[in-house]
Structure formats: C-alpha cells, structure tokens
Amino acid sequence: MMAVTRGFVGRRTADSSRVPPGQYVTRDFPVLSAGPTPYTPLDAWDFTIRGGVDRPVSWSWTEFQALPHEKFTVDIHCVTKWTKLDMAWSGVSLDTFLDATPTQAAYALAFSDGGYTTNIPLADLRGGRAWVVDEYDGRPLDPEHGGPARLLVPHLYFWKSAKWIRGLDLRAADQPGFWEMFGYHNYGDPWKEQRYYGD
C-alpha cells in the first residue's frame, strides 16, 4: 500500500484502477450516434423480446414504468477512449425481462428505433449486469443519449449499450450487429482492450 498524504494523489491512485488500458477520464458526456435521433411517442413505444421464445413478449411504456427500477452508479468506457466515472442511472434489470421469457437461446441481438443493432451473449445480460435505463442523473434520459430508454451494459464498451432500445432478438447462433459488422470487436471487453476485430 502506498503512503498517501494528499487527497488528490489518493484519488488519482484510486481512479486509475478503475480506468481500463488506453482510456482517459472525462467529465463530459459526449454524444455518439451513427444517425439522427429518433423520436418515438411513448404511447407507441414498447420493449419486445422475440425469437427463441414461444411467442414474443412486449411491455408497453406504462408496463415498463411499473416494473421495479433500480438506481445504480457505474463507470462507462467508450471505445473512442473516454471513460466517465460514477454515472448514476435508474432502470429495469434485464433479469426482470428475461425471467419472464424462458429461452434456450445463447445470444441476443438488441434492436433500436432507427435500425441500430448490437449483439451480446445472453449470459452478459443476466446476473444484474445489464439494464434498460430511462433515467440518468435523476432526470429522464435525454433523447440524444438514447431516451426514452436505452440498454446499459457497463462491463462492455459503450457501443453495446444500444440507445433507443426497442427489444432483444434471441438466437441460438451469434449474429454481429451494426458496429460489429463494421470491424468492431464482437464482444468488447474494455479491460482486455477488445476494440476491433482481431484484438
């Protein structure tokens, strides 16, 4: 253990263990979108789990709001190298949705308004490690950041956290999503620097 007398040094030491290789810490919350921000009225919004289930199951906005929400604080790592510490969210654990939709599938392709997709092993969406969030920093999620609701999978690079999420397509076989088809890593573990195909 290092002898630390000044808070600044102490904090830097603590933070650097939370910053994956090749990342820098920012206080900003940059917006990174591959296309225009879609605006879906809440009465037309639903979250659907389909494929690999007996029949698709959908939650309306009202039903989604009625599900138990968790408040949690996590660090976010973007493949463009920014890391933002202590981001406070509120949302519904993916466990809540997946417990209601038994499946043999091993993979999910998340799909969003606007056509964005990203693939994630179903195991990574279970165990309290992934959420559909509708609040950031105590306020409804900004449309630019994926509002009304986005996927949040903080243990993977941020491109896996699909904004404007509308559901999951469950599958037996993995299928690359939008950025994965354009050369990003299929899995995207920030601690292993899995940025691009072949990393």
Closest by CA to 104, choosing from 54, 158, 153, is 54
Closest to 188 in 3D by CA, of 151, 154, 162, 157: 157
Contact flag: residue 88 with ligand MTE (CB under 6 A)? no
Instruction: Determine, following the binding rule CB under 5 A, whether residue 159 of this chain makes contact with Mo ion.
Output: yes
Interaction of residue 116 with Mo ion, rule CB under 5 A:
no
Q: Interface with ligand MTE includes 101 (CB under 6 A)?
A: no
Q: Using CB atoms within 10 Å of the CB of residue 41, give its burial: 0 to 12 exposed, 13 to 18 middle, 19+ buried.
A: exposed
What is the helix (H) or strand (E) element at residue 170, kind and residue range?
A: strand 165-171
Q: Which residues of 78-88 are buried (b: 16+ CB within 10 A; e: fewer)?
A: bbeebbbbebe
What span, in angstroms and rounded, lies between the C-alpha atoms of 46 and 52? Answer: 19
Of 97 and 136, nearer to Mo ion (C-beta) is 136
Tokens at residue 183, please? 């050369």
Q: Residue 116 binds which entry of ligand MTE, Mo ion, none, with Cβ cut-offs from 5 to 8 Å by kind? A: ligand MTE
Choose the stretch contacting ligand MTE; rule: CB under 6 A; options: 2-10, 25-33, 168-176, 185-193: 25-33
Closest approach of Cβ 64 to ligand MTE, in Å? Answer: 17
Q: Interface with ligand MTE includes 131 (CB under 6 A)?
A: no
Report yes or no: 119 and 109 within 8 Å, Cβ to Cβ. Answer: yes
Quote the CA–CA distance of 118 and 126 in Å, as a whole number: 16
Find the DSSP H helices in 17-70.
61-66
Identify what 164 binds: ligand MTE, Mo ion, none; CB under 5 to 8 Å per kind: ligand MTE
Given the complex with ligand MTE, which of 103 and 189 has the nearer CB atom? 189
User: Is 103 one of the binding residues for ligand MTE (CB under 6 A)?
Assistant: no
Which 168-187 positions form the footprint of Mo ion (CB under 5 A)?
A: none
Contact region with ligand MTE (CB under 6 A), list: 10-18, 57-65, 108-116, 166-174 = 108-116
Judged by CB under 6 A, the stretch of 2-10, 28-36, 59-67, 191-199 that binds ligand MTE is: 28-36
32 is an interface residue for ligand MTE by CB under 6 A = yes
